Structure 1
Amino acid sequence: MAHLSLTPKVSSSSTSSNNQSCMDFCHAHFFSVPTQGSIYTLAQLVDSAGRTKILFATLQRKVYCMQYWNGRPCIKEVPFTYIPGGAEIISIDAYIRDTDKEDFVIGITIIKKDETNNGSTSQYLNMYSSVDRTSEGNGLQVASQNCLHLQLSYVPYQVKHVLLPQDGGVAVVWLVCGSDSQVHVYHGDDEGHNYQETNLNATFPELCDIKGITLCVEVLYTSDNRVRYTATSGEDGCVTLSKVVLENTVPRIAAKQTMNWDYPVGWVRLLRLQSFNPPTPGLSEVNVIDDYKHNPVIDDELPYLVVGSSVESCTVFRDLAPGKGCYLKDSEAYDVVTCCIVCDLDMDGTNEIVIGTYGQVVLMYKYETNGCWRLVASLNVPDPILSLSYCDIMVEGSNQLIIMTVKGVHVYQCNPWKTKKLCMEKLKALVELRNT
C-alpha cells in the first residue's frame, strides 16, 4: 500500500503540527471507469449492517457500486433498468429507507437524445426502491429493477433527497434543479412506489422566487427541526441564503439574503463548526435526525456558508454581504473548484472545509479563532477531480477520503498509526475524566 502524505501548508508550531499529524493519508485503492461522470454522480449508502457503499455513475449510463469485504474492495456494475442505450446520467443520490432491511431508495436523472426528431432530447427522473417492503429479498439489486420512470419537461441538474419535518415524524422529499429556472420537489408514498411533484410553496417557499438556473441546493436543520437554512447557487451567479421557521411544520421565511457574482456559482455548502457523527452505524438519515436531538450541539446561530465561484476564490460567509466573507487561500490557483465537503478530517471535533479542483489538487482549510479559515494541507491526485466524499467505506472505525476523478475513484485511508495514536489519547483522556 503506497503511502502518500499531505503537503503541509502551515508554519511549524505546536498547534499546527498536531493538525498536520492527523491529516496524513495512504492511497489504498483506485478503480478506473471507461467514461467519466459529473459533479453530481457520486452518492453513498449505509446498509442495515453498517457497511458503507459508494455509488458512482458515468455519463454513458453505467452505475457502479463499491464497498469493502474483509478488507478488500468489491466493485460491480449495478444493472439499473429504464436507462436506455445512448442515455447520459446527469445526477444520482440515494438513502436507506428502512435500517432493518436493505431498503434503498435511489434517484437518477438522465437525458436521452432522440435521433429521429431533429436531435431533440428527452429527460427523465428515475426513482428506484423496493416495491414490497415486507420482503426479505430487498437490496440494491432488487431496488435497481423496480423503477418509476418520470418524464421531465426540463433538463435536470442536481437531484437531492432532503428531510422534511411533518406531524408525527420526518419525511423524505426529492429536489431537482431544472433548466426551467425552477427547483422541483417530488414526494413519495412510503406504502407503495409512487412519486409525484408537489407544491413547492407549501414545502420550500424559499425556493419559489428563483430567477435563474439553480446548480446547487443545500439544506440544514437545527437539532429541534424548528428552523431550516437553505442556500442556493445559480448559473447567473446569484447566491441566496434563507432562514425558514417551521411553525407546526408549516414553513415561514423569516429572513433571506441574496448576493450576486459575475460568474456562475457551481456549488454552496452550509456548515457548523462542531462535527457530528452518528453514535450507531447504519442509521438512516431520518433516524439520525432523532439522535441529533439528543446531541448537545448549539446550533441556533447562523451557520457558515461556503461559496464556490467558477472563476474567483472560494469564500466563506457568516453574513451574506459584500466585504464580509473570508477568502480561502489558493482556492483559485488550481483551475476550477468543482466540489466541496465539510467534515472532521483531523478528528478533533470541529469541521474542516475540503475542496476539490479540476487542477488535480485537494485543499483543506481549518477554522481559526479570528474568524478566518487557514489552508493547512493539500493533496495532489493524478487527474481532475469531480466529487468528494468522506465515510467509513473500509469498515475500520475511521473514515476514508473518497475522490472521484475523470478517470475513476480513489480511496485514501487515514494513516493507521496516526489514528491509533489519536484513539489512545482520547481513551486515556476519557479514563482520566471518569476517575476524577
Structure 2
Amino acid sequence: MNTNDSDDEFFRETHYARYGYDRTNIYGLAVLDSRKPTCLDRAEEFPSHRFESFPSTTTDNAPDPLKKPVRHLIAASSSEMVGLASRDGYWNSLHMGLGLTMGRHEMIAMDAVEEGDRVLVAVAIAEKEPNDTFQYSLRIFSSSAPYLEQALIDIAGKYVQGGIGFHLTNVPDTRQVIPLSSAPMHLTHTWSKEQHQLMFLLTALDGRIHMYMAQDDNIFKQVEDVGSYYPMMAEICEHRLKILFMHIYDRPNGQQVICAGGQNGDVILAIYDPDGNQVAYHTTRVFSPITSVLVFQQRVSNTVHPEDELHIVATCAIELAIVYRSIENNGLSKSRVLPQSGNYDSVMCSHAMDVDWDGEREIMIGTYGRQVLIYKQVAGTQEYNVLWRRQFAYPIYRISHLDLNRDGLDELIVSTMYGVHVFQPNMKRARERLLEVLQYVEGNKRRIYELVLEWRHQKEMEKAIVFESQ
C-alpha cells in the first residue's frame, strides 16, 4: 500500500481484515446501534482472531439492556459476513455464517438494525442456477439472544456443510426468504410514523422501491402502496427510475430527509415534517450515474438550531462529486463541485465526519482509483479544499466511522474491494485538542468566578451606602 507523507496527520491504520478469497461489493458495510451488552474478552491474537462460535456461559440471568445504544460494525463480502463488536479498549471479530457458497451465492446488499430485543440482518442475494441464470431473494435473519456477540454469531443459525451446499441445523428466531423478480441494488431501513414499525426499503433494477414492513408475528410483508408513506417513492416507481443509492436522514427534531440517486443521473430529494407530511420535493439530473448520496448537517450537534443547514453530497461515476448546499432553502439549485474528485477514476462513496474536532464535519470521498480524500470548507466561502489524501491497494467501496474500542474517539472505517481497514485518529492531535478544550473550560470557569466575586462586592457596597434623610 502506497501512502503519502501526511498519512499520520489525521489517521493511522491499526488493523486490516481481509475477506479471504472473497471480494466485497459496494453495499457491503453497515453500522449497527444496539443496546445489547457485550461479554467476550479480548482474544490473545487480537485483532486478527475471529470468533466462529459463541462460548458456553454459566450466566443464568439475562443481562439488562444498556441505557444508551452502542455502535458496532458489520461488513460483508460476496458470500461471508463479519461483525466487529466494540468493547472497552478493543473489539471482537465475529464470523456470521449465512450458509452461502462462494461462486454460487453473492450478497449484493445488506443492512442491520435492532428492533426491541431483536437484532435483524437483511441481505439481498443473487443465486446462480445451473443454466447460468440468477434467482434473487431478500433474506431476513433475526436473533433475540441476550448478548450482542451471541446474537451476531447465531443470527442465521448454525450451518454445517452437507453433500451439496449447506443445510440449516439450528433455526434462529426467524429466517425469512422473500423472492425478488428483479436484480436488487441498495438496501436500507426506516420506521413508520404512525405505529413505529420497522420497514426495509430495497431499490431494484425494475425501477421500483420495494417496501417490506414488520408485522405483529415478526414476519415482513411487502407494502404495495409505498406512496402512502412516501409520495416521492411513488414518483420513482411511476417513472421507473433505477435507484442505485438512497439515504434516509432523521433529524433530532423529527424531520426526515430522503435523497435518492439513479442510474440515469437523477437526484431526487424530499423533506418530511415530524408528522410524515411531504413538505418539499426537488429533482435534478446530471450526466452520470449517481453512485451514492449523503445528507448531512455540517455543524456537529444532537440538536437543531435555526441557523443549521443541510447539504447533500452526490458522487458520480464519470463526473466530479457535487455538493448541493442549503437544501431546505435552495432545493437542488445551488451546488459546488469537489476539486480533484474526478482525478482518480469513478467516485464510489462519500461520508461526513469531524476529523479535526473543530465542531464541523468534513466531507470524505472514496474512489475506484483507490483514493480516499477529505475536504474542508474554506472559512467564509462555500468552496472546498483537499485536507488529506491516502492511496490504498484496492478500490474504495464504503467509508464510515464509529468508536470501535470505546476510548471516546471514533475510528475511521474504510471498506475496499477485498477487506476492511480500521484507522485510529492521531492521538497527539487528540491530546492537543483536549488540552485546548480543557484550557477553554478552565478559562470560562475563572471568568465566571471573577464575575461572581465582582457581583458580590457590588452588593456589599450597595448595603454599605447610607442615605441621609431629606
Shorter-chain TM band: 0.7 to 0.9
**Residue identity matched to 2:27:** Y
**2:465 counterpart residue number:** none
Aligned to 1:193: 218
The aligned counterpart of 2:366 is 356
Deviation at 1:398, TM superposition (A): 0.4
Q: Distance in 2 between matches of 1:143 and 1:110?
A: 16
Match of 1:381 in 2: 392
User: Do structure 1's residue 122 and structure 2's residue 135 form an aligned pair?
Assistant: yes
Deviations along 1:167-191, whole A, 9 cap, x unmatched?
5xx44321100111011111113x5
The offset of 1:5, in angstroms, is: 7.1
Aligned to 1:174: 200
Retained in 1: the 8 A contact 2:266–2:283? yes
Give the 5 Å matches for 1:57-206: 57-59=76-78, 61-67=79-85, 71=89, 74-81=92-99, 86-98=104-116, 103-115=118-130, 118-130=131-143, 139-145=151-157, 146=172, 147-166=175-194, 170-189=196-215, 191-198=216-223, 199-206=225-232
Larger Rg, first or second structure (1 or 2)? 2
Asked if the contact 1:366/1:376 (under 8 Å) is kept, the reply is: yes
Cα offset, 1:89, TM superposition: 0.3
Is 2:32 the counterpart of 1:38? Answer: no
Q: List alignment gaps of at least 5 residues for structure 2.
A: 38-68, 158-171, 449-470
Q: 1:218 aligns with which of 247, 257, 268?
A: 247
Q: Evaluate the alpha carbon distance shift between residue 179 and residue 3 of structure 1 in structure 2; reply closer, same or farther with a 3 A threshold.
A: closer
Distance 2:96 2:134 in 1: 25
Distance 2:440 2:191 in 1: 36
- Structure 1 residue 253 displacement after superposition: 2.9
Change (3 A) 1:24 1:213: same
Number of positions where the alignment pairs a residue of Structure 1 with one of Structure 2: 389
Q: Deviations over 1:333-370 (max 9, x none)?
A: 01111111111122221111111111111111112321
Q: Assess if the C-alpha contact under 8 Å between 1:6 and 1:379 holds in 2.
A: no
**Displacement, 1:235?**
0.4
1:335 aligns with 2:345: yes
**Does structure 2 retain, via aligned residues, the 8 Å contact 1:148–1:193?**
no
8 Å contact from structure 1 (residues 44, 52) kept in 2: yes
Contact 2:187 2:203 in 1 (8 A): yes
- Answer yes or no: is the 8 Å Cα contact 1:40–1:387 preserved in 2: yes
Q: Which residue of 2 aligns with 1:283?
A: none
CA separation of 1:154 and 1:326: change in aligned 2, threshold 3 A:
same
Q: In structure 1, what residue type is equivalent to 2:112?
A: A
Matched residues, percent identical?
22
Q: Aligned equivalents of 2:283 and 2:32: distance in 1?
A: 33
Query: Is 1:407 the counterpart of 2:407 in the alignment?
Result: no
- Give the drift of 1:392: 0.9
**CA displacement at 1:73 relative to structure 2:** 5.3
User: 1:67 and 1:213 mapped to 2: Cα distance?
Assistant: 34
**Is 1:41–1:92's contact at 8 Å kept on the other side of the alignment?**
yes
Q: 1-side partners of 2:410 and 2:149: how far apart?
A: 29
Where relative contact order (Cα < 8 A, 6+ residues apart) is larger, the structure is 1
Closer, same or farther in 2 for the Cα pair 1:375/1:334, shift >3 Å?
same
Task: Give the structure-2-normalised TM-score.
Answer: 0.76
Displacement after TM superposition at 1:46 (Å) = 3.9
Which range moves more in the overlay, 304-313 or 372-381? 372-381
**Cα deviations across residues 393-421 of structure 1 (Å, max 9, x unaligned)?**
12221011111111211111111122122
Counterparts of 1:348 and 1:135 in 2: how far apart (Å)? 36
Residue identity matched to 1:139: A
Give distance in 2, aligned partners of 1:259 and 1:186.
28
Give the structure 1 partner of residue 13 of structure 2: 27
Looking at structure 2, the residues matched to 126 and 137 of structure 1 have their Cα atoms a distance apart, in angstroms, of 20
